[in-house]
Structure 1
């Protein structure tokens, strides 16, 4: 069964370019291309959409706001496509339900792999963007309430550290010589202890020291 996708960008050149790229892969079906977040939300409410590729800066409703509504009201999984100029939106997008965060200048294979990964239940954040987050957080004032490391086992702290470095479950399993299933169990435990929803939020929590 094909992965159904909508493309959301106010730049028609980018919309059509992404549509052409995705049509080269047999596993995708582009259901629609729209020009703002409001149109994206409306379409996802009326149609079964697996993945929404969302620009950040758009008229009427931006990609961050649309991600929040799409996540709350539909089963569609949002992926933010952005440029380096949009880095101030990164944390907001993650907090508002985006399951992926990618730069627009990625090659087609990376976009394809990201869509498939999010479709299969993973959350992805590109390493270059993760470095942006680290840089931004380093410039901010230390949190008033630091993360209580006593909540976590030594192994959980190791896994949180590797998640914050951008490691996938598979890479973590190889690094720590444990199975991917065991990694997933540890991540579930971390999520339960923190009240977070997905691994990208774990990375932010570990780097920033508090729940957003």
Structure 2
């Protein structure tokens, strides 16, 4: 069964070019291309869409607003595909339910793999995007601003390292526990906070805000 995709971008050259590229892959079906976030929201409400590729800066409704509505009111998974001119929107997009954040200058294979990964339930963030999140959120101290009372000491250790950008493998080496155990802790943290992925944990740690 093919992954059903829509593309929302106010630049017709980009959206039609992306449609041509993605249509060359047998596992994708590009259902529609739209001009803005509002059109994307309306389409996702009326049709069975797996992935919505969303630009950030669009007329009528931007990608951040569209992400929130699509996440809350449909089963479609929003994936941001944009430029770094839009980096001030990164945090809002992630907090509003974006399942991925990629730059348009990626090669087609990278975008292809990201779409497949998001479709399979993963969250995709480029390292350069994660670095931008960290630099936007805090200074070098990575100061914790969240309420620590509901978390164990070990959970706090893991959240601190996530906020510093450590992978599960790096956390495993740092704390001398298995990656499986770390994954279990992360699942518990997500359950306590109502968050959906580790990038949101970092944001929560550094801002004290769940949404």
* Pairwise TM-score range, normalised by the shorter structure: 0.7 to 0.9
Map of 1:115 onto structure 2: 115
TM-score by length of 2: 0.86
Q: How large is the Cα RMSD of the aligned pairs? A: 2.6
Unaligned runs of at least 5 residues, structure 1: none
Change (3 A) 1:164 1:28: farther
The 1-side partners of 2:73 and 2:124 are apart by: 21
Hey, what does 2:44 align to over in structure 1?
44
Distance in 2 separating the partners of 1:49 and 1:81: 17
Q: Any stretches of 5+ residues in structure 2 without a counterpart?
A: none
Q: Alignment partner of 2:138: what SS?
A: helix
Preserved CA contact (<8 Å) 2:77 2:99: yes
Deviation at 1:123, TM superposition (A): 1.7
73-82 vs 112-121, greater mean Cα deviation: 112-121
Shift of 1:110: 1.5
Rounded Cα–Cα distance in structure 1 between residues aligned with 2:124 and 2:152: 24
Check conservation: 2:145, 2:205, Cα contact below 8 A. no
Q: Structure 1 residues 159, 113: CA separation in 2 closer, same or farther (over 3 Å shift)?
A: farther
CA distance in 2, matches of 1:164, 1:19: 36
Q: Which moved more, 1:124-133 or 1:58-67?
A: 124-133
TM-score by length of 1: 0.85
Cα deviation code 1:26-83 (max 9, x no counterpart): 1111111111111111111111000000000011111111111111111000011111
**Corresponding residue pairs, total:** 208
**Runs of 4+ residues over 4 Å off in structure 1:** 165-169, 171-177
Taking structure 1 as reference, are residues 33 and 202 closer, same or farther at Cα in structure 2, changes over 3 Å only?
Answer: same
Kindly state the Cα deviation for residue 105 of structure 1 after the two structures are TM-superposed: 0.8
Distance 2:172 2:112 in 1: 24
CA drift of 1:153 comes to: 3.7
By how many angstroms is 1:162 displaced?
Answer: 4.8
CA distance in 2, matches of 1:195, 1:23: 36
Cα distance change on mapping 1:27 and 1:85 into 2, 3 Å? same
